[in-house]
Structure 1
């Protein structure tokens, strides 16, 4: 096993830091490499999670078991199911109180490559170093501005009901490579799916003022149920943007929901929206822009699914 440590000093209370690490539901918003986390089970202080994350230029997924110890401010983890070139990976988040009221965070990793392959080991070392540095920097920034997080973070959703089939609605959302021909605001789409259900997409959208806007996202697809995604390159106004398309059978048809969570970058607000603009203005700007595109997509998904249902009844 190869052992490495990464350390950061945080000007925040140890309990604040611990709570950020314990809440995996917010990891996709809080930590740049993390795309999605699924809670697989929890028994007291032990939990199993499935993580999708950007590793180098790839998207990797693994299943981990975590042991949470709030008393000693320590969280240990071990991958139960790894993806090559990782053969085994374990470690710990160790949180130590400092005399000045701050916190030292030590992130420990122990890992081994499949068949001890030197190239695989070099890749793991590079990715572990890069992601650890990124996560610790995110953690420091979040903990030191913990009091502002409720103001900076916004979650909202839009829903339409479709007189159609779940599978048809999901198909419209899943086959995003066809969106340039189906959605008026999508000018270009490059989509790859090297692993079933994990999509990387780069998209050009046309804004209401006619400008072109390029985004890149990773999507994790759960057939006929939902598609979760994270924007891996975000506009300057945001530090994070995640979302979800949910499809569920309801009385009267199919409920289709688009949900967004965004985190505002406060230091960018004045430069983008004007000197007098506030974080509240930025929240509203993001909500209107994202909700507008989502509602267009929802309405076209509705029309597509209802047309297919009507044809099937003929």
Structure 2
């Protein structure tokens, strides 16, 4: 992949950079993947969670949580969608210091005779003059942009349509306990090895909520999971904890057979207790289908099998939470 970085002057706080690669897929297909921000956690390794806040005509507002450098940061952006021109322009609404301005674009071009297709991600940013800030931002942008443009190219060039590889599903459990107690059971993942039979081990680190994370406490965890056949596998995850409301997570190292797995726990109080919803979205790795799920397994069958395995674990977690909390209330 070719990368070009352009600087106004060596000591200027304003910089610009373009990350460019050839694209052996239609510009429209690549454009659609970027327009659908809800799937970004599946497409892009740095992205933990994404939301479309509103859309009016060709103007869209989004919020992202992503790994930037050594931490997780959140921001909102205004995007101008131009499907006819295969271009999306964006600008952060309230950049966090030391950034004072951040804008850019996605641009997609179809191949033409003698010229390959083109995928371009551009950025322009200004910092507050803090020594070394422009260089730190440039390094973080270069790292994330290189990953993102490579991932987008890979998804756009796949022979399968995204909908063939992606599945979303959910399970629910009504628990006769206050929402705060139900939330705490799922929040205290450090206690899961004692409480959940499918969790063989877990290491957890937490960072308190702050404005830079839009009020989310950030947890990182390494979890060893026991399968029904006695085997174990280890996954790494980042969780965004919004106290009493939801816990959003993404497996940054998903198990074999999956390209990505993200989800959330949602809590809703009612007269009979707390309704907990476990939502999952998975992206299947087509190259690993037969080695993981067995010879002759189709992509559709593998998705259903993944749903059964992942759903069984989350349903088991919810049943254990219900038993733990309702039994405790009765004692």
State the TM-score, normalized to the length of structure 1.
Answer: 0.90
2:320 to 293, 300, 306: 300
CA distance in 2, matches of 1:33, 1:9: 22
Deviation of residue 233 (structure 1)?
Answer: 0.8
Q: Aligned partners of 1:42, 1:310: CA distance in 2, in Å?
A: 48
Match in the other structure for 2:6: none
Q: 1:266 offset after TM fit, Å?
A: 0.8
SS in 1 for 2:255: coil
Counterpart CA distance in 2 for 1:308 and 1:49 is 42
The SS at the match of 1:208 is: coil
Q: 1:97/1:265 Cα in 2 relative to 1: closer, same or farther (>3 Å)? A: same
Indicate conservation of the 8 Å contact 1:61/1:83, yes or no.
Answer: no
Whether the 8 Å CA contact 1:246–1:257 is kept in 2: the answer is yes
- State the match for 1:110 in structure 2: 124
The C-alpha deviation readout for 1:259-314, integer Å capped at 9, x for no partner, is: 11111111112223333232233223312221121111101221233245446xxx
Structure 1 counterpart SS, 2:230: coil
Secondary structure at 2:161's aligned position in 1?
helix
Distance 2:294 2:230 in 1: 20
Counterpart in the other structure of 2:213: none
- CA positional deviation for 1:41: 2.9
Q: Provide structure 1 residue ranges, at least 5 long, that are not aligned to the other structure.
A: none
CA contact (8 A) 2:234 2:255 kept: no
Structure 1 partner of 2:260: 240
Alignment partners' CA distance in 1, 2:128 and 2:193? 41
**Which is richer in helix?**
1
* 1:289 aligns to 2:309 (yes or no): yes
8 Å contact kept, 1:39–1:50 = yes
Shift of 1:121: 2.9
2:244 and 2:163 mapped to 1: Cα distance?
32
Tell me which of 35, 39, 46 is aligned to 1:22. Answer: 35
What is the aligned length? 310
* Aligned partner of residue 93 in structure 2, secondary structure: strand
Q: TM-score, normalised by structure 2?
A: 0.86
1:92–1:172 Cα change, 3 Å: same
Distance in 2 (alpha carbons) for counterparts of 1:308 and 1:273: 40
Aligned to 1:70: 83
The structure 2 residue matched to 1:214, chosen from 220, 225, 234, is 234
In structure 2, the partner of 1:134 is 147
**Equivalent-residue separation in structure 2 for 1:161 and 1:117 (angstroms):** 54
**Range moving further from structure 2, 231-240 or 55-64:** 55-64
d(CA) in 1 for partners of 2:182, 2:196: 14
Q: Distance in 2 between matches of 1:234 and 1:148?
A: 21
Say which is worse superposed, 97-106 or 8-17, in terms of deviation. Answer: 97-106
Q: Deviations over 1:32-86 (max 9, x none)?
A: 2111012333333222222111223322222222122223222111112334454
- Give, in whole Å, the separation in 2 of the partners of 1:226 and 1:216: 19
Matches within 5 A, 1:1-314: 1-99=14-112, 103-118=117-132, 120-145=133-158, 147-196=160-209, 197-250=217-270, 252-310=272-330
Kindly tell me: are residues 114 and 189 of structure 1, through their superposed partners in 2, closer, same or farther at Cα, counting changes over 3 Å?
A: farther
Unaligned runs of 5+ in 2: 1-13, 210-216
Contact 1:156 1:259 in 2 (8 A): yes
Contact 1:13/1:102 (8 A) holds in 2: no
Q: Deviations over 1:105-137 (max 9, x none)?
A: 21101123443321x333322221121121112
Question: Which deviates the most, 83-92 or 27-36?
Answer: 83-92
> CA separation of 1:47/1:146 partners in 2, compared to 1, >3 Å: closer, same or farther?
farther
Distance 1:57 1:285, change over 3 A: farther
2:294 and 2:51 map into 1 onto residues whose CA distance is: 39
